[in-house]
Structure 1
């Protein structure tokens, strides 16, 4: 099993938020996401003497390391691989707790989650690379890994680097398809990490965490438009957080209304009603626009506004996706309707229709 005859390749999908953004960063508040057929692919190949981490996207920044006992020792240089390194660290801690022997390996990462010229679409590349790295190393070290455990391990690795966020993008990458996600109590996790071993922690029930797979109505079509300008989720979430203390009452109302909206939308999925889903997409757009005003953060940019209004004109329900401020907008529309004109109007406005589809995870 040495050298070139032992290759492991895994992939993890990107994601988009359908509804429930911003509220989902609070413990127990729900959102709906979808996994898409654009992937981060990770390949692991065993090596005798030294290890490497390299990426097609960061060719000039390949990273080399060697073993000293069980520790990885890196060349001392800047690197763009924080999430990958965090994923490796946690997976190896877990592997060592199961008495696995540490090995050297070459890790190769390839991503289709950004545009060809390197701009981010906002499809959750840091979450997908975290999930794919852990999946690949679990196979490499022959570790049995359920989706629930994979989610928890990847959530911890991601949180160690990002520090905020709901981890819904990790859930979409792990479970695939359409999901309803409710975020866990991060304060509990902070305390629990001091008390439990990693091995124990990923078997525990995490307070408030809930992940449910949804089946959309058969006539539902999801359209995605990209505005061409990337947005920083962490920065936008922080900006809203700063305002929530001084606007406590209004923020609490936003949370309550978002929770009720997502709950109704989930009912729409369960009863296979595109009308209910569309109605709640529109209501969620309205909530997010109000939150933007409240926080003085531009969630729905002029181009996203144009994307949404043009979709509404042809009976589609549309809103910003994720933190807004750029990136993508989504449209839920009856697939029997002709969307040729809509896409043409997007292209005229400088909005790129992304030819993406929902991805279901089978393994």
Structure 2
């Protein structure tokens, strides 16, 4: 039996621009996890989620193919991760096994609230990590990232895959997406083994060290949003108003480069200024596209945090879900939390999931 886990994530800055090749973002991995357990099975394998037991999936082998007993299932990311990792395992000469795969997630609340912490990325990464151990493939973090990124992209079809990086590496990350058009072309010409060994153009993953006096606060506004649908809407606006969209991209690149440098210098004020500048850029993108990135609840969260001395904005695609606050640890936030409660904003008691420096190797594409 093998077990692997992957943390959830939140975007700090650089949303939407990071979907484009070569534009940076900052993310953080959180100490809530998806856990995947794999154990040998006899005649039938299974895929079972503790959160969705009524939709458990049973399967058997037909040669190297997975054959499912029920067609309609919610486990697309798990299945994509299995398919890609087992394809790589066969390229490595490994015989495929029959197993029970169990998924347990604490990224959502016990009563089913979805916090927008990147559960699809975390379950994809955890599945790849568990199969990596099950088949003794010996993949390091970079190859786990690449394989999970392909699996996730095959299902979602868009996005930056920064959430995959956060689930693989943990901690605070500066991330820049690879060229997805290059990947689509390279997949037609190369084996998975070759793809994992070659550099991916524009891919950049760097571990950041947050200032010791900086605290991350997270508030959930109770309005889950669909990232893929919001990204699709932005893509429509991009094609119609390329000039304004280009200015948004260049503004985002400049702000994020400044924020990353502020992390390097442990400059909390510089990081906060960058966060505020990024929020203004996202507001201009919302005006351009007609997409509501900052909902009224997120505006309330932000204004209350700013009054308390913090810098705040929406996290990720917006449209609901979480807002984030970066604030000096010396500031008493008792009154802010009380104001959030009165506004029906739920503080999430999450911490950054750090990794050991020895586990991390920067990725350059």
Report if TM-score (shorter chain) is over 0.5. Answer: yes
Q: Which runs of 4+ in 1 moved over 2 A?
A: none
- Give the match for residue 262 of structure 2: 268
| 1:69 to partner: Cα distance | 1.5
Whether the 8 Å contact between 2:294 and 2:318 is mirrored in structure 1 is yes
- Give the match for residue 74 of structure 2: 80
For 1:246 and 1:70, locate their aligned partners in 2 and report how far apart those are by CA, in whole Å: 46
2:349 is aligned, of 331, 355, 360, to 355
- Give the match for residue 31 of structure 1: 25
Whether the 8 Å contact between 1:42 and 1:110 is mirrored in structure 2 is yes
- Give the match for residue 146 of structure 1: 140
- Give the match for residue 96 of structure 2: 102
Q: Secondary structure at the match of 1:57?
A: coil
Write the mapping of 1:134-173 to structure 2, written as runs, cut at 5 A. Answer: 134-173=128-167
| 1:77 to partner: Cα distance | 2.5
- Give the match for residue 116 of structure 2: 122
- Which runs of 5 or more structure 2 residues have no equivalent in the other structure? 360-365
| 1:261 to partner: Cα distance | 0.2
Once the two structures are superposed, what CA deviation does each residue of 1:54-94 show, in whole Å capped at 9, x if it has no partner? 00111011111111121111113210000000000001000
Matched, 1:14 2:8: yes
Once the two structures are superposed, what CA deviation does each residue of 1:27-52 show, in whole Å capped at 9, x if it has no partner? 01100000000000000111122200
- Give the match for residue 362 of structure 2: none
For 1:255 and 1:283, locate their aligned partners in 2 and report how far apart those are by CA, in whole Å: 13
Write the mapping of 1:275-286 to structure 2, written as runs, cut at 5 A. Answer: 275-286=269-280
For 2:246 and 2:287, locate their aligned partners in 1 and report how far apart those are by CA, in whole Å: 15
Matched, 1:344 2:314: no
Whether the 8 Å contact between 1:262 and 1:280 is mirrored in structure 2 is yes
Q: Secondary structure at the match of 1:202?
A: helix
Whether the 8 Å contact between 2:80 and 2:155 is mirrored in structure 1 is yes
For 2:300 and 2:70, locate their aligned partners in 1 and report how far apart those are by CA, in whole Å: 47
- Which runs of 5 or more structure 1 residues have no equivalent in the other structure? 1-6
**What do you get for the CA RMSD once the two structures are aligned?**
0.8
> What TM-score do the two structures reach when normalised by structure 1?
0.97
| 1:304 to partner: Cα distance | 0.1
- Give the match for residue 40 of structure 1: 34
- Give the match for residue 4 of structure 1: none
Once the two structures are superposed, what CA deviation does each residue of 1:270-325 show, in whole Å capped at 9, x if it has no partner? 00000100000000011111111111111000000000010000110000000000
For 2:324 and 2:214, locate their aligned partners in 1 and report how far apart those are by CA, in whole Å: 13
For 2:233 and 2:94, locate their aligned partners in 1 and report how far apart those are by CA, in whole Å: 43
Deviates more, 1:108-117 or 1:156-165: 108-117
Q: Secondary structure at the match of 2:236?
A: helix
Whether the 8 Å contact between 1:174 and 1:361 is mirrored in structure 2 is no
Once the two structures are superposed, what CA deviation does each residue of 1:114-163 show, in whole Å capped at 9, x if it has no partner? 12222311100000000000000110111101111000000000000000
For 1:240 and 1:100, locate their aligned partners in 2 and report how far apart those are by CA, in whole Å: 43
For 1:202 and 1:26, locate their aligned partners in 2 and report how far apart those are by CA, in whole Å: 21
Count of aligned positions: 357
For 1:232 and 1:361, locate their aligned partners in 2 and report how far apart those are by CA, in whole Å: 29
Whether the 8 Å contact between 2:58 and 2:70 is mirrored in structure 1 is no
